[in-house]
């Protein structure tokens, strides 16, 4: 029988109602007791690593989770992490960079309703996660939610209340859990030994373009950031209002000051391609800016946090950024 470690971090799955709203308060030991049939699948140990609303999760929390897995990696056959849904896709992306080449499954899950309730998705999501964590073919970082197994770097929360809250963006789900069995659509192979990292650079910011945006916001955000992701319209680009080109000049100034600039799109599917139109083509080629293409915003942010904790040399950043990790960028 396999040995699986449950790492609890809080979230809705561990919440109880209070006078000020739902508050994470159910412990890891209590969580596992709500689904007693998990004991038929594997031997379970638990760690209460934190008990927070996932809105309060940050880079320090991701490093803490990764370090916990590293410390226990040789003791267990797999890991299940319970987590709030609001930042779950960010966390699964971050762990995909902090823990690479893992032959053991690192499964993240949560729920839209507390496991404390009778009418909830929590118990099924938790049970399905253990089914996947016990599967001989499972490896790497994935989210298991609503019977779907989603690659950690391709996941996004797309619904705020429904049980089918997560989608795999522009990449098929790896598998589904059907009749308590894992049905694979994609075979994943992991080669080499696991690689663990323990640093992230939190100075990564996003500016979402809106029509008529003030160019001064670029200068303000750039002062406190090492990396600036510009989330544009459609396939991407940078507007030029009144032929003054102040936005482009602000971006050029940031680039001259050593800031790393990455173009993205606010459109959820099919990615960016800013060279299609003049508003993007000229600035990308003149300044040699990066572009995230079909990466999710969650994986883009976390990958840049990981890369710039290692180097801020623009040529090395570009090389690492465009090197696919766990299906994060598809060429």
Question: Could you give the residue numbers annotated as active site?
Answer: 12, 85
Structure tokens at 320: 């690492």
Backbone torsions φ then ψ of 235, nearest 5 degrees:
-75, -5
Token pair 């040789």 in the structure block, residue: 74
Backbone torsions φ then ψ of 218, nearest 5 degrees:
-65, -45
How many beta carbons lie within 10 A of that of residue 218, not counting itself? Answer: 24
Structure tokens at 238: 């940078």
- The C-alpha atoms of residue 229 and residue 259 are separated, in whole angstroms, by 10
> How many helices (H) and strands (E) in the chain?
9, 18
Structure tokens at 178: 């059907």
Three-state SS at 269: coil
- The C-alpha atoms of residue 245 and residue 249 are separated, in whole angstroms, by 6
Q: Which residues of 41-75 are buried (b: 16+ CB within 10 A; e: fewer)?
A: bbebebbbbbbbbbeebbbebbbbbbbbbeeebee
- The C-alpha atoms of residue 242 and residue 177 are separated, in whole angstroms, by 55
- Greatest Cα pair distance, the chain, in angstroms, is 69
With CA atoms as reference, report the closest residue to 218 among 241, 246, 191: 246
DSSP-assigned beta bridge partners for residue 204: 227
Q: Is 230 left (phi over 0), alpha (psi -120 to 50) or beta?
A: beta
Backbone torsions φ then ψ of 23, nearest 5 degrees:
-135, 130
């Amino acid at each position: 029988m396999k040995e699986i470690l449950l790492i609890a971090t809080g979230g809705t799955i561990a919440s109880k109602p209070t006078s000020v709203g739902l508050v994470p308060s159910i412990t890891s030991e209590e969580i596992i007791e709500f689904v007693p049939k998990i004991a038929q699948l594997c031997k379970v140990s638990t760690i209460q690593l934190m008990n927070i609303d996932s809105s309060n999760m940050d880079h320090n929390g991701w490093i803490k989770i990764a370090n916990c897995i590293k410390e226990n990696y040789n003791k267990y056959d797999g890991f299940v992490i319970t987590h709030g849904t609001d930042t779950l896709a960010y966390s699964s992306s971050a762990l995909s960079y902090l823990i690479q080449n893992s032959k053991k499954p690192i499964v993240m899950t949560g729920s839209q309703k507390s496991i404390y309730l009778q009418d909830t998705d929590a118990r099924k999501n938790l049970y399905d996660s253990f089914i996947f964590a016990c599967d001989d073919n499972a490896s790497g970082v994935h989210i298991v939610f609503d019977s779907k197994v989603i690659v950690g770097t391709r996941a996004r929360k797309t619904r705020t209340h429904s049980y089918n809250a997560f989608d795999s963006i522009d990449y098929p789900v790896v598998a589904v859990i059907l009749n308590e069995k894992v049905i694979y659509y994609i075979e994943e192979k992991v080669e080499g030994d696991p690689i663990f990292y323990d640093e992230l650079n939190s100075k990564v910011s996003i500016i979402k373009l809106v029509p008529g945006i003030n160019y001064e916001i670029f200068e303000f955000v750039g002062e406190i950031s090492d990396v600036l992701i510009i989330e544009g319209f459609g396939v991407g680009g940078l507007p030029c209002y009144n032929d003054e080109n102040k936005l482009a000049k602000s971006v050029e100034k940031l680039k001259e000051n050593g800031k790393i600039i990455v173009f993205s799109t606010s459109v959820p599917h099919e990615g960016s391609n800013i060279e299609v139109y003049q508003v993007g083509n000229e600035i990308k080629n003149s300044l040699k800016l990066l572009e995230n293409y079909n990466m999710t915003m969650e994986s883009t942010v976390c990958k840049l946090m990981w890369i710039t904790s290692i180097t801020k040399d623009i040529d090395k950043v570009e090389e690492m950024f465009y090197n696919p990790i766990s299906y994060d960028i598809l060429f």
